[in-house]
Amino acid sequence: MTRTSHLQIRDFKGDIPRADAEQLERVWSRPKGLLGWLVTTNHKDIGKRYIVTAFIFFLCGGLLAALMRLQLMKPENSFLGPDLYNQFFTVHGTTMMFLFAVPIMEGMGIYLVPLMLGTRNVPFPRMNTFGYYIYLLGGILLFVSLFLNVGPDAGWFAYVPLSGPHYSPGKRVDIWSQMITLTEIAALVGAVEIITAVFKHRAVGMSLNRIPMFVWAQVVTSFMVIFAMPSIMLASGVLAMDRLAHVNTHFFNPAEGGDALLYQHLFWFFGHPEVYIIFIPATGFVSTIVETFSRRKMFGYLGLVLSLVSTAFIGFGLWVHHMFATPVAELGQGFFTGASMLIAIPSGIQIFCWLTTLLTGKPQLKTPLLWVLGFIALFVLGGLTGIMLASVSLDLQVHDTFFVVAHFHYVLIGGAVFPLFGAFYYWFPKWTGRMLSEGLGKLNFWLFFIGFNLTFFPMHILGLHGMTRRIYTYVVESGWGNLNLLATIGAGVMALSVIVFLTNVFVSRKSGVIAGANPWGAPTLEWGTASPPPPYGFLYLPTVQSRDPLWSDKDSPVIVGLSNTKREVLNTTILDAMPEHRYELAIDSIWPFALALAAGGSFIGAVFNAWAIPIGAALSFLVLSLWFWRGNEPKFLLEGIQHTPSSPSHPSKRVLEETPA
């Protein structure tokens, strides 16, 4: 490469060009106060915000689930009426999928990926901030509508014709469909951030075969987001057009040649990959936690990576197994049954790699690992019912029953929420600088594990006994009362467990054990900087020589020569991660927030009037122009914002006391 002629690799004795921590702190910090909070573009701020917001939505969705369990606790209960029950199960499912699961996984990626790559921020920091605000607007829209008693009530999938203009008059479904648009914009924005960061911002030396498993999981997920989310945006968008007065298209109106099944195809072409969009990041948590607590390098790294990639590919080829109760051609049934069973192969490979790593290592049974072990048990159970449901004949028998509810709660809670709790315990010290309590953590785990099984295991049996989904009550003679009561008790235990977790977080944040940079003795780069990390991430950008730099690398060189006076990062080549060029990132800005208001307002307005779209588009373009026109921030916001004109970059000559990280 000709590029290497620009590079100087030197050995310094004592007087290496020093990075200047104070200066970096000034350049990379957000402004003080509420305005600073509004304009920040730091991936750590935005990542944390995603995680906290999504967790609050998890609590809201969980509360709705608890209320539904109270209603189903006994036969012919009158605690919730049918209309409220419909709104609750719709908003519960919608919240858990669109406002909790996807955003929290993406939030983890936005916080952790740049640190694991050894860089300072995501490549498009302002777009990242915009993504968060538009997601927040979508969430607020959904819950405001619920509080106004116009919450969506046609299921989280909003099937036509039920959700069409004839059977769902009013604005409920429109609110659902615009909420989809807002949250999916956020998901797509996050995916572009993560892919580009992984392609271009990796630490020098982090070739493809040295990328941490968590980062692989995030990048594979992001590609799935890019190909899956347009499908739901199209489906919900044209559904809104079908419904909107004066637009009245006929995509799903059979009377004019439209097709209700087309909606199901579009929905599940997104909906099935969605499951993997939630599950694959969770496998990233699992791989990371298993490796750290086994005290050995991951067994079968290549197999794990290939499993993720093949899961992503196969994940796009089995959406029709959600539609076995519709007229699917026999060849199609065979194909989609085969594909659904095929997915067990990469999943199985991953499970065996994790087990082998654990069994041949020296496992330390800390709380994060406990959650991972819980995950393995429950996910295998959920996977087994998954293979059962792939069979058309069995699927037809239990279609729309609680058996299916049990199955997908095992794979989604078992497969994603358990690893997520493990990840909370694992990375909490990095976020806050303090450890969560191990004792409360174990209590949290066991209550959740027991409560979860009490809640969802009986649902398998209820489903086999014929109890259908989405019914607000049932008669005494059905004999379903006892198992339902058991499930409701289980839900109570889970709620207790979440309260233990929240207590643990609030107590430990104030008085937990101080963590230090690397409390678990973990191998990946995010543990190579302080806890919590400074706004600039690393004093010197690190380089790596292996897959587990903090375990194996000795005296890797560090990067010098990046600007101290502007937000500059290093770009590396895609395959080998060799140094390529320096790249200036944008400073904090109010325009992402303004754009979220303009674009979000446009979509929310479209619930009522189609003209909101062109008006909102014009406003958005205006905001984007101001965003592009550099240095055009409102003056009062510039107080404290570091905006330095471009200047030739040179290493600072100031010498600091501390040694490089």
Partner 1 sequence: MTARSVIDVSRLPSTEMDHRSPIWWGNNLLLVIETTMFGLIVAAYFYFRVVDFHQWPPPRSSHNPMMLVPNPALTIPTINLAILLLSCFPAYIVDRACFRKQSVVVTLNLLITIALGMICIGLRFLEFKSLQFRWDENAYSSVVWTILGIHLAHLITGTCENALMAAWALAKGLDAKHFRDIRITTLYWFWIAGIWVLLYVMIYWFPRW
Which of 478, 552, 625, 632 touches partner 1 by CB under 8 A? 625
Q: Are 403 and 394 in contact (CB under 8 A)?
A: no
Report if residue 6 touches partner 1, rule: CB under 8 A: yes
What is the size of the binding site for partner 1 (CB under 8 A)? 78
* DSSP state string for 610-642: TTHHHHHHHHHHHHHHHHHSTT---HHHHTT--
Of 251, 271, 392, the residue nearest 328 (C-alpha): 392
Return the ∠ at Cα 185 (arms to 404 and 615), rounded to 5°: 130
CB of 38 to partner 1, least distance (A): 23
CB of 197 to partner 1, least distance (A): 8
Which of 23, 249, 468, 644 touches partner 1 by CB under 8 A? 249
Minimum CB distance to partner 1 smaller for 85 or for 124: 124
- Separation of alpha carbons 276 and 285, rounded Å: 14
Report if residue 43 touches partner 1, rule: CB under 8 A: no
Q: Are 336 and 321 in contact (CB under 8 A)?
A: yes
Which string of x and - marks every residue 193-222 that binds partner 1 (by CB under 8 A)?
A: --xx--xxx--x------------------
H runs (alpha helix) in 390-437: 392-398, 402-409, 418-432
Report if residue 595 touches partner 1, rule: CB under 8 A: no
| Footprint on residues 514-553 left by partner 1 (CB under 8 A) | 540, 543
Of 369, 651, 660, the residue nearest 528 (C-alpha): 660
Q: Are 412 and 278 in contact (CB under 8 A)?
A: yes
Minimum CB distance to partner 1 smaller for 35 or for 185: 185
Phi-psi region of 533 (alpha: psi -120 to 50; beta: other; left: phi over 0): beta
Q: Which amino acid is at 54?
A: A
Minimum CB distance to partner 1 smaller for 14 or for 76: 14
Minimum CB distance to partner 1 smaller for 310 or for 573: 573
- Separation of alpha carbons 249 and 272, rounded Å: 27
Q: Are 125 and 75 in contact (CB under 8 A)?
A: no
Minimum CB distance to partner 1 smaller for 324 or for 408: 324
Which of 17, 75, 300, 532 touches partner 1 by CB under 8 A? 17
Stretch of 84-92, 339-347, 422-430, 622-630 contacting partner 1, by CB under 8 A: 622-630
CB of 581 to partner 1, least distance (A): 5
Minimum CB distance to partner 1 smaller for 19 or for 459: 19
Which of 628, 635, 636, 645 touches partner 1 by CB under 8 A? 628
Stretch of 4-12, 40-48, 360-368, 591-599 contacting partner 1, by CB under 8 A: 4-12
Which string of x and - marks every residue 555-584 that binds partner 1 (by CB under 8 A)?
A: x-xxxxxx-----x-xx-x-----xxxxxx
Strand partners, 543: 204
Which of 112, 117, 266, 594 touches partner 1 by CB under 8 A? 266
Report if residue 192 touches partner 1, rule: CB under 8 A: yes
Written in H, E and C, the secondary structure of 468-521 is ECCCCCCCHHHCCHHHHHHHHHHHHHHHHHHHHHHHHHHHHHHHCCECCCCCCC
Phi-psi region of 466 (alpha: psi -120 to 50; beta: other; left: phi over 0): left
| Footprint on residues 273-292 left by partner 1 (CB under 8 A) | none
Minimum CB distance to partner 1 smaller for 8 or for 393: 8
Stretch of 50-58, 91-99, 460-468, 625-633 contacting partner 1, by CB under 8 A: 625-633
| Footprint on residues 636-655 left by partner 1 (CB under 8 A) | 649-651
Report if residue 661 touches partner 1, rule: CB under 8 A: no
Q: Are 92 and 68 in contact (CB under 8 A)?
A: yes
Burial of 281 (0-12, 13-18, 19+ CB in 10 A): buried
Which of 66, 140, 247, 328 touches partner 1 by CB under 8 A? 247
CB of 269 to partner 1, least distance (A): 7
- Separation of alpha carbons 473 and 82, rounded Å: 8
| Footprint on residues 104-163 left by partner 1 (CB under 8 A) | 123-124, 127
Report if residue 599 touches partner 1, rule: CB under 8 A: no
Of 217, 181, 228, the residue nearest 106 (C-alpha): 217
Report if residue 191 touches partner 1, rule: CB under 8 A: yes
Which string of x and - marks every residue 425-464 that binds partner 1 (by CB under 8 A)?
A: ----------------------------------------
CB of 229 to partner 1, least distance (A): 8
- Separation of alpha carbons 482 and 462, rounded Å: 10
Say if residue 419 is preceded by a cis peptide, omega within 30 of 0: no
Report if residue 239 touches partner 1, rule: CB under 8 A: no
CB of 366 to partner 1, least distance (A): 33
Of 169, 137, 130, 158, the residue nearest 237 (C-alpha): 158
Report if residue 251 touches partner 1, rule: CB under 8 A: yes
Minimum CB distance to partner 1 smaller for 491 or for 559: 559
